[in-house]
Amino acid sequence: MSRKAIIVITAGCLILILSTGTRQSFGLFLSPVSSGLGLDFQVFSLSIAIQNLVIGLSQPFVAAYADRFGTARVMATCGILYVLGMITLANAGGPMGLHLGAGLIVGLAASGAGFTLVLGAVGRVVSEEKRSFALGIVAAFGSFGQMLAAPINQQLISAFDVWTTFLILSAALGLIVPLAVALRGRASDTHDPRTEGQTLRQALDEALRHRSYVLLVIGFYVCGFQVQFVGVHLPNFLATEGLPELAGIAIGIIGAFNFLGTLFFAWLGGRYSKNLVLSSLYFFRSIVFTLFLLFPISNVSIILFAASIGFLWLGTVPLTTGLVASMFGARYLTTLASITFLGHQLGSFTGSWVGGLLFDATGSYDMMWIAVVAAGLFAAAVHLPISGKRVDAYEGASAAAKA
């Protein structure tokens, strides 16, 4: 692997440890923020849902800008937005402050300082043979951030308060700005004879006409729905079961096993058909959720659940991104992968907000647990017909010309 690739991978891993680690531990803030402001759980759940919706809707535009003008400047700008969002959140006095800080500003920040731009930058500097595993390394370190952030954030909340914790995190997230320099590059720097001369519009037209790509977007919706529901609502679920002290531990265990699982599934995706690996991953998620519901909730069952679902957590990311690269090449990988992430974030919006709505309405998460089981089975079926076969760069344009 080249020196440039190692630098890009290292910087990308550090950025994801900061940004993704912070965002994926937001569930720990649900109870203290809601009780501190005297609000229903659905209010801050909606803030987090808005955040995921903003990430999904803005990400294709942010990614297209990065492909055209360079990843570094977009990443640095998003790092600054992250700091501003956390400061706004620390000073929130009601729903609007929460929706603005945690929802809009952090959402815009995370659209650029997240997986899509980092994976796109890595995908451009590694060879196709090593791409799946390289993407897995980066995705795994995003999980490592969750493993670190969850227990640390819980300790900060206990030692200070949730508002001070937001300010401390804003200072840490400022490190994204200097790290962004290592991610210099744009789509035009990618030399791929197969996509030579192809415009972004042609690439988008080609992808959106491709059945496997559309199915991939639909399947990734389920991933967002499942992981965001668990990430946001597991702490409150454990509180209702009389085990609130296990929340930070459980989220940390998810992050630790996610690190291992992401590397494993990335490796597996390099040896076997990525769509079949994805289908199996979603199927086993449903098995894990079902077993968690069938057995009594205890310290042991929670730890086993966190370890099992953590192992299956974000192995979807390198596999999904790898499939996009296999189909369409690396030239517009950032933009095309961002559209699959739009599907993921729409699912995240649903999982976060609907989870809060149903809990406020029924006092229970039973309906949501059943929904995540059914969604996993649906995603397992959706991924079976997906093909990762390389697409002729001009196939979409030719089809459009003949129509």
Position 146 in a domain: yes
23: exposed, middle or buried (C-beta count within 10 Å: 0-12, 13-18, 19+)?
buried
Write down how long the chain is.
403
Is residue 274 one of the residues assigned to a domain? yes
Collapsing DSSP to helix, strand or coil, 401 comes out as helix
Residue 198 falls in which region: left (phi positive, over 0), alpha (psi -120 to 50) or beta: beta
269 in any annotated domain? yes
Q: Is 19 helix (H, G, I), strand (E, B) or coil?
A: helix
Residue 82: CATH number of its domain: 1.20.1250.20
Does residue 174 surpass a pLDDT of 90?
yes
107-116, 140-149, 298-307: segment of lowest average pLDDT:
140-149
Taking the C-alpha atoms of residue 334 and residue 124, their distance in angstroms, rounded to an integer, is: 9
Question: Quick check: is 402 in a domain?
Answer: no
Contact 254, 309 (CB under 8 A): yes
Query: Do the domain assignments include residue 184?
Result: yes
User: Distance (Å, rounded) from C-alpha 202 to C-alpha 400?
Assistant: 10
Q: Give the pLDDT band of residue 348 (cuts 50, 70, 90).
A: confident
Q: Has residue 403 been placed in a domain?
A: no
| pTM of the predicted structure, to 2 decimals | 0.76
Average pLDDT over the chain, rounded to an integer: 86
Does some domain include residue 258? yes
Burial classification of residue 226, based on how many CB atoms lie within 10 Å of its CB (0-12 exposed, 13-18 middle, 19 or more buried):
buried
- Locate tokens 């990443």: which residue? 75
The tally of domains found in the chain comes to: 1
pLDDT reported for residue 65? 86
* Banded pLDDT at 400 (limits 50, 70, 90): very low
Residue 21 · residue 149 · CB < 8 Å: yes
pLDDT at 402: 42
pLDDT tens by residue, 25-61:
887 888 899 999 998 888 998 898 888 889 888 988 8
Q: Taking 70 as the threshold, does the pLDDT of residue 63 lie above it?
A: yes
What is the residue range of 57's domain?
3-190+198-397
Write down the H helix ranges in 24-40: 27-37
Residue 359 belongs to some domain of the structure: yes
Angle, vertex CA 200, rays to CA 195 and CA 204, nearest 5: 95
